[in-house]
Structure 1
Amino acid sequence: MLAAAGLNMVATGEYAFFNIEIFTGTSANYKPWHNASDSDERNEIAKKAYEAVLTVTARAPSSDQYKNFSSHVKKIAQEEFGYKYEEESVNPYVAGFFEGVLVYAAALNSTLREGGAITDGHHIVANMWNRTFDSNVVPPWFTGNISIDARGDRKADYSLLDMNPVTGIFESVATYYGESESLEFMGNITWPGGRPPRDQPECGFDNSRCSEAQGPWSIVAGMLALLVVAMAVGSVFIYRHYKLEADLASMTWRVSWEDVEVVEKTKHGKCGSKISIGKISVNTCGSVDSLVDSRQVFIRTGRYKIKGLYQEGVTVAIKKIHKDRVDLARPMLIQLKRMKDLQYEHLVRFIGVCVDNKPYCAVFTEYCPKGSLQDLLENEDVKLDSMFKMSLMHDIVKGMAFLHSSELRTHGNLKSSNCVVDSRFVLKLTDFGLHNLRERVYSQEDYVYWKRKLWTAPEILRNANPPEEGTQKADVYSFAIIVHEIIYRMGPFYVKNEGLSAQLIYGS
């Protein structure tokens, strides 16, 4: 009975399936969704549902012979059986029965010519199978040649019907020719949702393609996991925010001047009497300006006793802040915290700042007893071989690289006097950061005003409003000047046999 049935494929949004439906009409007026006894509203609902239906049926011939055959069938059905056909052409399966009789007659004739009997069913069937009957053997063929394979199945032609979304009529969009085993498309399939359906559900019909974790609970678990991750990230940001606020409020960088012991120096640079004001003792020698004579000058130092850590105190370098008042706004507090957190073997460690009333404002840093690189290079009694010079340059490079990758980003005031050497002859960078506190105003009549510009990059000098923190490129320029100093030991911008002052060099 399958030969007399239409094969429907229902395509949904996820997959496609087939069902068998008897098809007694032709594609010219085939509207299986329409029922004359139903309301227009229910027919529209059915029409919407049939948009997902594809019908596979036997191809209806369109030749004149088939039209003539249909007329004779309608006439016989009306005259002899009282049945009236409503369709324009009779069902192609009726023609199939007629062709079956013709094929049987052709096979019987072949059997008789071969000496067989009319009752020899095996012989007759053998003449049907694995054979093609054309119009030259038994006319009239209106469906084309008839081919039967070795198993006795006819190589039939089939049409694929799809509903026209405008007219609602199922029309042929493709034809399969059994004899040539070829497929020809005559139109486009209108897919519901705009795309072809899946051949099976995403997880398969038995859910074998998906594990249990990929079921509905997996969606819930995934959402919970995303929620946990979002909460964790939010907690980290909240924790970092409150930790920053707590660190700013704690002011671990603050040094009280109540713990200071001061030793005043004499005008000639010799140690004077010792003045005790707390727990920092200052002992300085050699105050004569090195720019005036050749004696070495060291920075003022003191003993700072950090409670709970150093009972005997730690030696620190003290640099006075030349400001009447220090504004502890939030940007300044953040800079002080960054300085306190910054620790590296080639950077001078920041101890803290005293922001009490003037004249007790100062910056406290790690003390390096060997003095600055400038002092070392100007001391003729110190001999430097090439290996030691390379070591000094390498230490500067490592300190600069660490600063440039830190939150400070730049040094901004790099020169040989800001490179100090500790007791182990390890070079460290100092006077970086806190540029607002370190700023000091010099008059153009001071030699220091012109001297400090010798390490400054040209683009900074030409800038009317240069950035106070400098730039990384300007730091590299300053490093190149220091390298020149280390190699020749004749100060910056040394020109052989020409004694140029800093003001002349800057002016040129």
Structure 2
Amino acid sequence: MRPPLCAFHSKTRTWAAHGHTTPDHPKAHPAPLPISSPLFSSIPRSLQLPRYQYGVFWFLLLAVLCLWLIGPSPAHAAHFRVGVVGPWSCDPLFSKALPSVAAQLAVNRINRDPVLSLAATFDYVILEEKCETSRALDGFMESCQATGFIGPANPGYCDAASLLGKGWNKAVFSWGCVGYELDDVRSHPTFAHSMPRPTWVLISLMQHFRWAQVGIIASSEDSWVETSIKVANSLRSHGMPVRLVVTIGNDPGSVRKTLAKLKKVEDLRLVIMCMHSALIGGGPQKLLLETAKDMRLTEGSLVFLPYDTLLYSLPYHNVTYPALRSNSKLLKAYDAVLTVTIDSPKTSFYQAYQEAIDRGEIAGNVKPTQVSPLFGTIYSSVLFMAHAVHRVKASGEASAMLTHTHTLLTLSKQCCDLFQGFSHPVRTNMSGASLADYVILDTDGKTWDLRPTHRIEMAADMVRFLGRDIHFPHGISPKTDSNCWFIKGIICTGGTHTHTQIYVNHPSFLFVYVSLLLSRRRINHIRLFRGPNKILLTLDDVTFINPSLSNKVSSYRLMQELNIQIDNFTSSTFKKLFLLLFCLSLFYLQNGDWAWLKRLPHGTFRNINPKTSDVFELMKDMRHENINLFLGFFHDCGVFAIVTEFCTRGSMEDLLLNEDVKLDWMFKSSLLLDLIKGMKYLHHRNLYHGRLKSRNCVVDGRFVLKISDYGYNEVLEAAKFPYTEPPAEDLLWTAPEILRGPSPGLYGSLHGDVYSFAIIMQEVVMRGPPFYMLEQSAKIRKPPPLCRPVVSPDYAPMECIQLMKQCWNEEPDRRPCFDQIFDLFKNINKGRKTNIIDSMLRMLEQYSSNLEELIRERTEELEIEKQKTEKLLTQMLPPTVANALKVGGTVEPEYFDNVTLYFSDIVGFTTISANSEPIEVVDLLNDLYTLFDAIIGNHDVYKVETIGDAYMVASGLPVANGDRHAAEISNMALDILSAVGTFKMRHMPDVPVRIRIGLHSGPCVAGVVGLTMPRYCLFGDTVTTASRMESTGMPYRIHVHNSTVKILLELKAGYKVQLRGKTDLKGKGGTEETYWLIGKDNFEKPLPVPPEFKKGQMAHGLQMEEIARYKKKKAEKLQQLTKKNN
């Protein structure tokens, strides 16, 4: 059925002249005027028809309307109207999103899409949402009829809107709703989120930076006040301590009072601003940040975060916002702001909007920079709904698409989907939740550029560092909160676990707590000192290669035992020689692996504190082909050293100085690429090197470069070793900004590592030391002029030299990160393999991997065939019997006190077989037994065997089930009889298939008979009696013995039996009373009507006239086929 006329947009001038809006105006569209309206009488007389032609005119007009309304539908399945709900007229910043243009663009593209348009023909209607929450719900209730809604924008009435959608059976896809209660599918079956929940993004950010204490400030508009309340409730539902939720007015005095309250809250880390962003014209946020700057709240102890940018993709590539460019005060205040927005990695919102203008899809009267990025969210939400409708169509539920919204919502929440939104990709996870990547943008308070620092990947649930540190005001970042806030199941109060407070407050608990703490330290100590993977090493764990050193070490240990101090030793030469030999010596561990020792400065090594233990654990976890493996920490004989894996080719410095090694550009680029990949790995692990130089890069026997000395500064800081200023030649790789700071060489940065890499590039390209002189570090520390190495283009490609210059740029922020360096370096080599040895080894490794993959595939195939064999065996025999036979055991016969047996037989099977081809008989039995097998799978029964047309089932064995065996067999018999009533033979569809069923309960013995093709057989009088019950039964009847009837009646389950009377059971020596099972309470499946058995009728119940009719039809079909062929 077509939608009503009131939902369509008319773009005629007459329509607009009477106060009706076009899609470019964000107002709801009222119903059309009747024919008697002054609209029609206002037509100029020159255009009016003569009176005698009115009848013809109205007749033709009505005919056209009737044909339009009831005429044949187009190829599309149905019309789908999207209602776009929002405060489009009462809030000027919301109206800048141009909802009509966004919805029209989305609808046009959907209807042009050859795939999406197959599901439905889309149109839209703009629904106005009042800015007051109390009136917004009234407006929603009076909305024009739509198939689904995009909205609402005000979270205050999302619950009510969802319930209305449930009552109307209309889908509600919202981008602005926040409440955690909406995730309850049972209460809100027609509600879905068209974009990631903003609170999920907030929690990911808070957990990454460990900022738990949060405050929320909202502007005075109802929608933002409701948003702040819902955000606070959602964060609290995840255990986050929301310390403050306040509202500001539009005057400076109100803002100052609110910030005064904020300033009194202790330990606050994050302030969420629920209001329009100052970057897109939000006045309250601009006033808030400027006042916070005046009140010294933007000094670094607090981070301000705009909430509304979570709802759209804010452009930041090569974009300058006038709010920052023209307002230095706001620019400085914005240094304390982290902007989180949807990441558009390829095309920004402004670029996508301009492309739509260039293609003629959007009018060019509005510049992209004048449009709110919320435009893209509206567009993507409509597209999200279209993809959901498409999945309904693909699932075969298109006929119920418009009337069964639950189907739409269910299928929209299934498995993964990926499509391109307006400017960013949109995908769903396994539960149907909308996912997108977010980016954290930061400024430095000096320039107005928004620079990405981290990416929040919702699909992977992780925050990825992008190589650029966040610039906090004055270098002060907010303090971190306890991890307990982010651990599920732990109650955290003020950063202290609740149970810890109990221990402190109660003396006995305090004793227990201290005991546990000591135990934990003891366990940590054991983990560090013992086991094959222990970290702390002593002389007992190593064997030195230098024999003279081993002797000196033994003498040293003997002096220690005799309480002789080495400092009092008369010869200082021995002490220096000992330490020198120790530093330069190699040793191998007990498992035979060789290793390097990197000696730490002289000092006193204290006990392992938690911080030092964490550093060791971090270094131990480093696993990469271009990272030198950390083996442990040596501390003995007053010497402390970091133990790393031994590389036979020595350091890169040794390799460059070795003239016997010929280095062409392929070899050099291979070493540099290994260095880039290793540093890329370190930076992704949020660890900077700080001491990167050619002598700290080692080369193994395969000429693979590995980075060493990582974590050295962290160990010094954690173990509190005294700082020793390195010699001048060791500072030639150090970045200028670090040289100018205190303690050069002790601290590093990500940008400093890039500078060090550039100096190493100069060493490799020129094959010489850095700067070729030692006194250059003083010039580097105090330019101008800037002092950098000079590299001739003859030594390397020009692209490599340009990359080198970018990496040693004087401004750290202008240096590329290692991800960018890696991409640039690959372009320099144009994708070619950079090392002959490495290429050959990769080929051998690939061949080995192919063999391993082939073996794995064969093993999997063998496992699959084994599973098939076991499955077939368990289908032929009970699982317990099959398992016993597989291990070669014997299966002893088992006696069962009481079981129920089922026998059935096809009535007239001999007659049917005589009038059928053999293959037709096989098809008949296969179809019928497949039907039976599907039914018995729903009951606690065991299929014993089939012999010809006989079907035997038992319950109560091989696993006893109490008194339920009679009920299980009876339920199964009723299901089978109901299914047979509608069963048709493929070759005789007009001939009914009638079966007799017999049931009997009693004891029996079960066991495996035979060695070749063993069978699980049942023995006993119960089997014979059950077979007699079947043979003496009637078609479409369930013949039940008295023993089974007694059990059924004792169960009081509502089984209906009918007395048959005395029945002569052959071989039983007389007659017995038997019964018909005719049904059960609450059994609603239809049962076939048994045929009347007349005197003289054939016992099998299949009349010859039925066969005769079948033969006649078969002969007629054969005759028609013969005539057709002739």
TM-score, normalising length from structure 1?
0.44
Whose Rg is larger?
1
Higher relative contact order, structure no. (Cα contacts within 8 Å, ≥ 6 residues apart): 1
TM-score, normalising length from structure 2?
0.21
